[in-house]
Structure 1
Amino acid sequence: MVELQSGYKLKKLRSDRGGEYTSAEFLQFCEEIGLERQLTVAYSPQQNGVAERKNRTIVEMSKTMMKEKKLPYKFWGEAVNTAVYIRDRCPTKALEKVSPFEAFSGRKSGVKHLKVFGSICFCHVPNQLRSKLEDAAVKCIFVGYGKCEKGYRVYNLQTNKITTSRSVIFDENSLWDRDTQTVDSVTVQIRSEDTSRSSEEEHEETMIDIPSPPQVLAHAKCAAHIADTELYG
């Protein structure tokens, strides 16, 4: 896939001595396509320093994201994929302040769609999957970005399944409390400074109330009700 998308031929592959890289089947595959293998010495990760350091960065990002939202380790795969997705869109000094995504694809990637991993979100339920009296949205946990679809990967708290949805409302300052089976919301306090004022004046503080999940869900229900009323009179 990489060869087709980049137009470059893969000539060498350096890896550790994991069983997946030293099996007879993999050796035969490399010989058939003319790929040169390079193996590191046992217990010598420094011989493949760039890849090993990147792996460490991804693991640390994943652990931090899960801990911030108190997610169980069963989401480690989703956290790793999300960490890679974010890192691929961050400019790097090695690429002269160009992101890996842009360097590989030749096009810039937007960041407005990025959301806080593990946040509570509410996914729209299509009309075909519900009756008029049922909720228009379902409570979920945001766990990543679609791989082949243009949407968000969400964990449904009712079905315990991961699906992809494009119509999602996020509450990025919330998290799911597994012990109480409730949503924890916070109030964000922002301290803003007006540079035109004298230094003796106190800084102005603005309190922003993050709407609670029930309020968000109620808004979705009202919007769906209005749409149905307009449609059916």
Structure 2
Amino acid sequence: RGLQAQVRVVETDKGTKFLNQTLHAYFAAEGILHQTFVARTPEQNGVVERRNRTLVEAARTMISATKVPLFFWAEAITTACFTQNRSLVIPRHEKTPYHIINNRKPSVKFFHNFGSLCYIVRDGKNLDKMKEKGDECIFEGYSTQSRAYRVFNKRTRVIMESIHVNFDELPQMASNQISSDPAPECQRMALEHDSLSPAIQRQENV
């Protein structure tokens, strides 16, 4: 609905969670055609299922290459989806999915390697480059609500979102510096867009 696009067809398997009166009534009320296929038949897999398999394979490669703990699996899936929507061109349209939906080309200038070492300035302070770098983090992905990055703070063991992130230019991965402890909590820092650095201000809000 956010894209102002009407759903015309929904494809599912024949599981009871999809074949019931409640869902049937909803589809009828919304004018949606419900199509079914036999479960566990790869030859009938639609675009969505093939796309999901591609994302899983990408996330598995990202986890393996960076050797980050498996509790970052969901972050890897989300980041793979975010980057592929902005970088993979659909031959039929000769555009990326982002370009098709938003009618403008995406910016990829702010992309960074998943699992790379970075530093977050504590609470948006200590912006002087001559001072201490700040908390050491592992880059996990991109915020879907703002221009912020998602990073795992190794000091607090919390996944945070912040625009105040400095990336280590050396080809060093942080994966071997953390243990496989229980999954971290998530925390979102308050962001003020008027405080963006000049480099960030030039980026598109994608």
* TM-score, normalising length: structure 2: 0.74
Q: Structure 2 vs 1, CA of residues 19 and 85 (structure 1 numbering), >3 Å: closer, same or farther?
A: farther
Could you tell me how far 1:163 is from its partner in structure 2? 1.1
Q: Which has the larger radius of gyration?
A: 1
Could you tell me how far 1:11 is from its partner in structure 2? 1.3
Q: Supply the AA of the counterpart residue of 1:105.
A: N
Give the counterpart of 1:108 among 89, 96, 105: 105
Instruction: Kindly indicate whether residue 78 of structure 2 is the aligned counterpart of residue 81 of structure 1.
Output: yes
Name the CA distance, whole Å, in 2 between partners of 1:138 and 1:20: 46
Instruction: Kindly indicate whether residue 152 of structure 2 is the aligned counterpart of residue 155 of structure 1.
Output: yes
- Deviation string for 1:150-187 (max 9, x for gaps)? 11001111222111010111126222244x649xxxxx
Query: In the comparison of the two structures, how many residue pairs are matched?
Result: 174
Q: Structure 2 vs 1, CA of residues 54 and 123 (structure 1 numbering), >3 Å: closer, same or farther?
A: same
Instruction: Kindly indicate whether residue 81 of structure 2 is the aligned counterpart of residue 51 of structure 1.
Output: no
Instruction: Kindly indicate whether residue 20 of structure 2 is the aligned counterpart of residue 42 of structure 1.
Output: no
What are the residue-to-residue correspondences of 1:20-31 with 2, within 5 Å? 20-22=17-19, 24-31=21-28
- Deviation string for 1:13-66 (max 9, x for gaps)? 112345653455433432332222112112213213322221221111101111
Greater displacement, 79-88 / 27-36: 27-36
Q: Supply the AA of the counterpart residue of 1:174.
A: Q
SS at match of 2:137: strand
Name the CA distance, whole Å, in 2 between partners of 1:9 and 1:127: 41
The percent identity for this pair of structures is 31
Q: Could you say which structure has the higher helix fraction?
A: 1
Name the CA distance, whole Å, in 1 between partners of 2:160 and 2:20: 35
SS at match of 1:115: coil
The match for 1:122 is 119
- Structure 1: stretches of 5+ with no match in the other structure: 183-233
Q: Could you say which structure has the higher strand fraction?
A: 1
Give the counterpart of 1:144 among 141, 144, 150: 141
Name the CA distance, whole Å, in 1 between partners of 2:15 and 2:110: 37
SS at match of 1:126: helix
Instruction: Kindly indicate whether residue 94 of structure 2 is the aligned counterpart of residue 97 of structure 1.
Output: yes
The match for 1:165 is 162
Q: Structure 2 vs 1, CA of residues 87 and 20 (structure 1 numbering), >3 Å: closer, same or farther?
A: farther
Name the CA distance, whole Å, in 1 between partners of 2:110 and 2:56: 23
The match for 1:206 is none
The match for 2:173 is 175
Q: Supply the AA of the counterpart residue of 2:161.
A: T
How large is the RMSD of aligned CA atoms in angstroms? 2.6
Q: Structure 2 vs 1, CA of residues 44 and 118 (structure 1 numbering), >3 Å: closer, same or farther?
A: same
